[in-house]
């Protein structure tokens, strides 16, 4: 049988997917044990139990300086920035993307501007944001929003403009004016696509969040990672990275669930 025709069943597929992850964990454990045997004070590859202890301390004990549980306050601060930034970007996309897609006049007026903004590397404008908005929350939120919005706007505008022209003509023969066309034909078909492009944009959004926190912050997941780096505290960095991945996976699953529940027609489902 040809390799391309071997299709694992769902249970088998899950086990096969687990294999590389388990292999990596085992390899890590072996390497870690080897290094610690050579030097018991090594900090680069801490054991799983050392990481567990560090996590337990970060996630349960209050920091005497701030009076808060460090991991918890870091998570809240980061998710707040990420959430507000993403919400601003999403609403901007909805407004601008649909207008660009539906109204040729708006496309002519704003299309080139959006295309120019989209090619600017967002990190390059971070200093501008810091100067203009200070080192507080506003500049970090602005970086996330400005970082992901141009891609999402262009994606949504292209999707809406690509809706079959027959649909737009049909809606007009059914008496729809421009506003009704936007509201009843373009908007509902744009929403599942918006969630799709938001799912793709969550990765870059985390990058911008952590960059901003690394440069100027006093709390946050990215701030903590870059702070403890000075002490080679891999026992904190690795669990923090794992925790960020977990948050990202949960966000993605949540967005997919929302899309499936709210737009069954877009996923081949029934009412």
Partner 1 sequence: MTTLLSLRDVWVEYGDKVVLERVDLDIEQGSFVSVVGPSGAGKSTFLRLVLGQEGPTRGQILLDGIPLTAECHPDRGVVFQRYSVFPHLTAVQNVAFGLECDQSLLLGKLFGRAKRDALARATEMLAAVGLEHNLDVYPAQMSGGMQQRLAIAQALIKHPRVLLLDEPFGALDPGIRNDMHTLVTRLWREHGLTIIMVTHDIKEAFKLGTRVLAFDKRRIDPHAPNRFGATAVYDVPVTKKTQAEAIAADLAGGAAA
Structural tokens at position 81: 């920035």
Residue 263 within binding range of partner 1, rule CB under 8 A: yes
CA distances from 240 to 73, 167, 221, 228, 266 (A): 13, 48, 7, 11, 36
CA angle 54, 43, 225 (to 5 degrees): 60
Q: Which is nearer to partner 1, 40 or 164 (CB)?
A: 164
CB of 187 to partner 1, least distance (A): 10
Q: Which is nearer to partner 1, 68 or 177 (CB)?
A: 177
Q: Which is nearer to partner 1, 19 or 271 (CB)?
A: 271
Interface size with partner 1, residues (CB under 8 A): 26
Q: Which is nearer to partner 1, 73 or 172 (CB)?
A: 172
What residues have CB less than 8 Å from 145, skipping those under 6 apart? 85, 86, 88, 89, 92
CB of 102 to partner 1, least distance (A): 14
* Binding to partner 1, residues 149-208 (CB under 8 A): 164, 166-167, 169-177, 179-180, 183-185, 188-189
**Residues 8, 17: contact at Cβ < 8 Å?**
no
CB of 215 to partner 1, least distance (A): 43
CA distances from 138 to 60, 84, 111, 133, 141 (A): 29, 10, 27, 6, 5
Binding site for partner 1 (CB under 8 A): 164, 166-167, 169-177, 179-180, 183-185, 188-189, 263-266, 268, 270-271
């Amino acid at each position: 049988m040809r390799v391309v025709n071997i299709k694992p069943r769902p249970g088998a597929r899950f086990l096969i997917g687990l294999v590389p992850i388990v292999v990596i964990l085992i390899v890590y454990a072996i390497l870690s044990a080897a290094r610690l045997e050579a030097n018991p004070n090594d900090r680069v590859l801490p054991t799983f139990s050392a990481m567990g202890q560090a996590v337990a301390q970060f996630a349960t004990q209050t920091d005497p300086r701030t009076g808060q549980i460090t991991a918890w306050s870091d998570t809240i601060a980061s998710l707040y920035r990420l959430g507000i930034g993403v919400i601003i970007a999403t609403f901007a996309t909805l407004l601008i993307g649909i207008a660009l897609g539906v109204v040729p006049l708006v496309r002519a007026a704003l299309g080139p501007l959006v295309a120019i903004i989209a090619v600017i590397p967002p990190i390059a404008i971070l200093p501008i944001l810091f100067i203009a908005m200070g080192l507080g929350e506003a500049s970090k939120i602005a970086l996330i929003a400005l970082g992901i919005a141009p891609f999402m706007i262009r994606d949504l505008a292209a999707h809406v403009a690509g809706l079959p022209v027959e649909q737009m003509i049909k809606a007009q023969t059914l008496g729809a004016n421009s506003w009704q066309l936007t509201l009843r034909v373009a908007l509902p078909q744009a929403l599942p696509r918006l969630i799709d492009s938001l799912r793709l944009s969550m990765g870059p959004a985390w990058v911008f969040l952590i960059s901003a926190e690394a440069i100027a912050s006093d709390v946050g997941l990215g701030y903590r990672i870059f702070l403890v780096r000075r002490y080679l505290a891999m026992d904190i960095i690795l669990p923090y990275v794992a925790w960020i991945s977990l948050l990202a996976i949960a966000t993605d699953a949540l967005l997919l669930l929302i899309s499936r529940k709210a737009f069954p027609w877009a996923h081949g489902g029934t009412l």
